Copies of this chain bind each other. A is one copy, B any other.
């Protein structure tokens, strides 16, 4: 098993966004299905696919949030399916409010190899707790919103009646 740049196959599922169908399909189908049989994408293709801007993709690489992106002989980036997996994890973590610094830390740990499994687990567990709390928070706000919206709706219906 290599400990630099690429993840060992046996832990690829944990290190990248790759999930078994059972888990990945529990929501809706992805809006941008990946073209089959390809493993090289330009930056604009990846931007299109992930919804991130090309600017952001370059920035992610600069700050160490990408595992290492291949280049053509002229220096252009060529992203692989593995990169897309990684980006799908990253965007999920971002959408759920993980700070970029934490994701960079996670990316570092992935680069360092198997010896960092424990710390990776900690990092994700902490974030999971965070996400759970935020769900609870959102839910309690939902109650408040329901209550207030009801009041306004009642007022509207009352005024429509006359």
Chain A residues with CB under 8 Å of chain B are 11, 13-14, 17, 19, 23, 26-27, 89, 92-93, 95-96, 114, 117-118, 120-121, 124-125, 127-128, 131-132, 134-149, 151-153, 155-156
Contact = CB atoms under 8 A, between A and B. Distances in A.
A60 to B, nearest CB: 18
Contacts of A145: 124, 127-128, 131
21 contacts: A14-B148, A14-B152, A14-B155, A19-B144, A23-B143, A26-B143, A27-B143, A93-B141, A96-B137, A114-B155, A117-B152, A118-B156, A120-B152, A121-B152, A124-B145, A124-B149, A128-B142, A128-B145, A131-B145, A135-B138, A138-B138
A19 B156 contact: no
A34 to B, nearest CB: 17
A147 B96 contact: no
A27 to B, nearest CB: 5
Contact of A141 (B96, B117, B139, B146): B96
> Chain B CB within 10 Å — which of A142, A144, A146, A153 has the most?
A144
Given A23-B147, A96-B137, A131-B142, 19 more contacts: A13-B151, A14-B152, A23-B143, A26-B140, A27-B136, A27-B143, A92-B140, A96-B138, A117-B156, A118-B156, A121-B153, A121-B156, A124-B145, A124-B149, A124-B152, A128-B142, A128-B146, A131-B141, A135-B135
